[in-house]
């Protein structure tokens, strides 16, 4: 996937910036923690706005340079977004899934990918006061035909959404599934599933 996520977006109904995090092993944010896959590294801390909810706890899979552009095989980050009567936690998750898929897999000329989003599936997430109900929304992405051999041709995006503190704690995990160079390899399907399953809430 093209490394072009550090942008402000309005499609979510709120502004989202990207902030990195330091450290290794378990990634901890103010509202949730998760365990990134081996070989994934914390993102550098880019300039970020201070008046916007942000993707925090950002990690990236193995990267490569091709055609003077930077690519990564995987990406994960968390966000705490507001909910209201018109957008609950699952709705926020679907919007984030779609935004990330289109942002990461569109053609250079702006042609969007084909994005198929499955109905949210129910999950249980550990929290400080016991397990809570959440959902996982998953998208499979097929990039437009005609892209060069640098970029992935397909990918998978998952977003865990858990209501918390009047908002929605989200954990995004994405990875290429085919295309691009032979090395680094695309992450296995279980890599993203395990990342999502490792999430734990830190606030009730």
Nearest to 71 by CA among 196, 195, 171, 175: 175
Structural domain count of the chain: 1
Asked whether residue 65 is domain-assigned, the answer is yes
**Residue 43 forms part of a structural domain:** yes
Provide the whole-model pTM: 0.86
Which CATH number belongs to the domain containing residue 48 in this structure? 3.40.1000.10
Could you report the per-residue pLDDT of 4-49, keeping only the tens digit for each? Answer: 444 323 333 333 344 444 444 789 999 999 999 999 998 754 444 3
Any domain includes 42: yes
Q: What pLDDT is stored for residue 23 in this prediction?
A: 41
Would you state the pLDDT for residue 79? 92
Task: Write out the residue range of the structural domain in which residue 80 sits.
Answer: 17-201
Residue 58 lies in a domain: yes
Rounded Cα distance, 32 and 133, in Å? 14
pLDDT number for residue 17: 40
Regions in the chain scoring below 70 on pLDDT: 1-24, 44-54, 146-148, 204
Q: What is the mean pLDDT of the chain?
A: 83
For residue 6, being part of any structural domain is answered with no
65 neighbors 24 (Cβ within 8 angstroms): no
In a domain, 8, yes or no: no
Residue at 12 is within a domain: no
Instruction: Give the other-Cβ count within 10 Å of 122's Cβ.
Output: 9
pLDDT for 2: 60
- The answer to whether position 26 is within a domain reads yes
Residue position matching structure tokens 């969007």:
112
101/141 Cα distance (integer angstroms): 7
């Amino acid at each position: 996937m093209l490394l072009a996520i550090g942008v402000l977006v309005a499609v979510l109904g709120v502004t989202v910036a990207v902030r990195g995090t330091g450290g290794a092993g378990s990634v901890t944010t103010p509202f949730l923690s998760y365990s990134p896959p081996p070989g994934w590294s914390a993102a550098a801390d880019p300039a970020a706005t201070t008046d916007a909810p942000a993707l925090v706890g950002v990690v990236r899979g193995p990267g490569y340079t091709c055609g003077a552009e930077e690519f990564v095989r995987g990406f994960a980050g968390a966000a705490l977004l507001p909910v209201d009567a018109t957008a609950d936690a699952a709705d926020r998750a679907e919007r984030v899934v779609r935004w990330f898929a289109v942002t990461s897999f569109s053609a250079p000329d702006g042609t969007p990918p084909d994005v198929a989003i499955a109905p949210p599936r129910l999950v249980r997430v550990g929290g400080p006061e016991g397990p809570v109900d959440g959902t996982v929304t998953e998208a499979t992405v097929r990039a437009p035909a005609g892209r060069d051999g640098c970029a992935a041709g397909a990918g998978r995006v998952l977003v865990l959404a858990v209501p918390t503190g009047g908002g929605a704690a989200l954990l995004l995990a994405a990875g290429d599934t085919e295309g691009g160079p032979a090395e680094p390899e695309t992450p296995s399907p279980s890599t993203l599933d395990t990342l999502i399953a490792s999430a734990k809430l830190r606030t009730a």
